[in-house]
Amino acid sequence: MAQNFRQGEILAIAREEGKVVVEDLAHRFGVTLQTVRRDLAELCDAGQLSRVYGGAVLASGVVNIGYEERRSLYAAEKERIGRLCAAAIPEGASLFLNIGTTTEAVARALLGHKSLMVVTNNLNVANILARSPGCEVIVAGGVLRRADAGLVGDMTMEVVRQFKVDVAVIGASALDEAGDLLDFDVREVKVAQAILAQARRRFLVADRSKFARVAPVRIASLAEVDAFYTDAPPPPAVTALCRGWGTEIVVAG
Q: Residues of the chain with pLDDT > 90: what percent?
A: 70
Domain ranges of the chain: 3-58, 67-251
Question: Is the pLDDT at 236 greater than 80, yes or no?
Answer: yes
- At residue 63 the predicted structure's pLDDT band, cuts being 50, 70 and 90, is very low
Class of domain 3-58: mainly alpha
For the segment(s) 67-251, the CATH number from 3.40.50.1360, 3.10.310.70, 1.10.287.10, 3.40.50.300 is 3.40.50.1360
pLDDT tens, residue by residue, 130-152: 999 999 999 998 999 888 899 99
CB neighbour burial string for 120-137, b if at least 16 within 10 angstroms, e if fewer = bbbbbbbebbeebeebeb
Q: What share of the chain is helix, strand, coil (3-state, %, to 5)?
A: 45, 25, 30
